[in-house]
Amino acid sequence: MEHPFNDTYFMKKALQEAEAAFEKGEIPVGAVVVVNDRVIARAHNLTELLNDVTAHAEMQAITAASNFLGGKYLHNCTLYVTLEPCQMCAGALYWSQISKIVYGARDEKRGCGVMGTKLHPKTKIKGGILAEEASILMKRFFIEKRNMN
């Protein structure tokens, strides 16, 4: 029997967060931080609500996970995020020393891979988990946004 807690399982949790962002009119990016098969932080974009360009899902998740753990380093933690982290978030993830990043859809314009942003040498990265679902949600958001204007 397949282990119930796998990348797809946790990415679905991140997608639920992205849906919450979508419902609030935020760019639909969601994230969860997991340690020992337990979600310790959930977050989504809050840039509009907080009027803060740094309030990306990853940044919110890093803060929540650090508060939960009582320290600034996210050793043995995995971040699941629906969109490849941007340069800013990748920098914060570097400093958090997170062990693993798993993302859904690639960000062809602003993703850390395209920008050449370095991650911590010990951080593993894996992409493409539920990428289609994440992309569809993102496209739907921008189509609706365009049609409102």
Catalytic residue among 17, 26, 58, 84: 58
Does the annotation count 26 as an active-site position? no
Whether the pTM exceeds 0.85: the reply is yes
As annotated, the binding site for Zn(2+) includes 56, 86, 89
Phi, psi of 10 (to 5 degrees): -75, -30
Task: Assess contact for 26 and 48: CB atoms under 8 A.
Answer: yes
Q: CA-to-CA distance for 26 and 144, rounded, in angstroms?
A: 12
In tens, the pLDDT along 63-109 reads 999 999 999 999 999 999 999 999 999 999 999 999 999 999 999 88
Under CATH, which number does the domain 7-32+40-142 receive? 3.40.140.10
In tens, the pLDDT along 6-35 reads 999 999 999 999 999 999 999 999 999 999
